[in-house]
Amino acid sequence: MISHGKDIKVFTGNSNPALAKAICERLYKELGNSEVKGFADGEVSVSLYEPVRGSDVFIVQSTCKPVNDSLMELLIMIDACRRASAGRITAVVPYFGYARQDRKAKARDPISAKLVANLITAAGADRVLTMDLHANQIQGFFDIPLDNLAGNPIFVDYFTEKFGDECLEMVAVSPDVGSVARTRAFAQKLHMGLAIVDKRRLRPNESEVMNIIGDIKGKKCILFDDMIDTAGSLCGAAAALAENGASEIYACASHGVLSKDATTKIENSVIKETVVLDTIPLPAGYTGSKIKQLSVATMFAEAIKRIYNEDSISSLF
């Protein structure tokens, strides 16, 4: 029995309209008619060109670069839908920005992830749908329901098709201690071995690889993480694997943030292929060959249908 909203309506901001359109195609729905633009002074302006009264509204907006503009677009779109009497509003945030600021690492640090959670709630969202939060405890920052989808199954399907039974002889590698749990879950599904890169971070976005824990000599390795930002840590870990005897090195991550010259670093690295999801668009003008993008549209479309019909999300996994 459907208990929220007379119909589904999907709108998008400017951060990832291609993903929103792909989700609508799988829902057999037209993307909502709206416009998000800016005034001369940089303020965000939102216009909805169709009624949403009583509808189950889903706003697709990754809070990726430019992060603050993307976040404000999301907040103002939520407010516009709330004031237009939407039946329920779900913020669909495939990539949740500020997620790395989830704790006080030193005195007088803000906890920006909690602040962003408060802003989304205060704007009028009834629930949040996201993917692979950098830290699971962020789910507790929200006072509204949050569904955190896992990109793991998409990667499992991809590498199963790519390597088949050869996966049994490969090794999944965690690029740091913090990613061990997610890498172990990935390795178990593909029956791979597990290795860990032990590194010491010298300063933000810079790290020094110290040691490889696990047997990777002569084996194909897959570096597994939740995001790739400047790619310094990733390429450093890949170089350490190659120096320690890995035969081939692949990498995958849910969120390809790819800041600064990350794509150039990856193209010039020993990594044979890097696979990311389309939670964030690839940098404009990227023409390299080492970065492959897989779509999350089918998974998000299915999650949206289940939210609308009040069905279980966890059974997706």
The residues that are catalytic are 199
* DSSP calls for 194-236: EEEEEEEEEETTEEEEEEEES--TTSEEEEEEEEESSSHHHHH
Residues in the chain: 317
Report yes or no: 134 and 305 within 8 Å, Cβ to Cβ.
no
Q: Long-range contact list for 285-290, CB < 8 A, 24+ apart?
A: 288/263, 290/266
* DSSP calls for 267-306: HTSS-SEEEEEBTSPPPTT---SSEEEE--HHHHHHHHHH
Rounded Cα gap, residues 175 and 247, in angstroms: 17
Instruction: Look at residues 152, 93, 154, 95 and name the one whose alpha carbon lies nearest to residue 128.
Output: 93
Residue found by looking up tokens 């009497």 in the block: 85
Measured at the alpha carbon of residue 112, what is the angle toward residues 106 and 116, in degrees to the nearest 5? Answer: 165
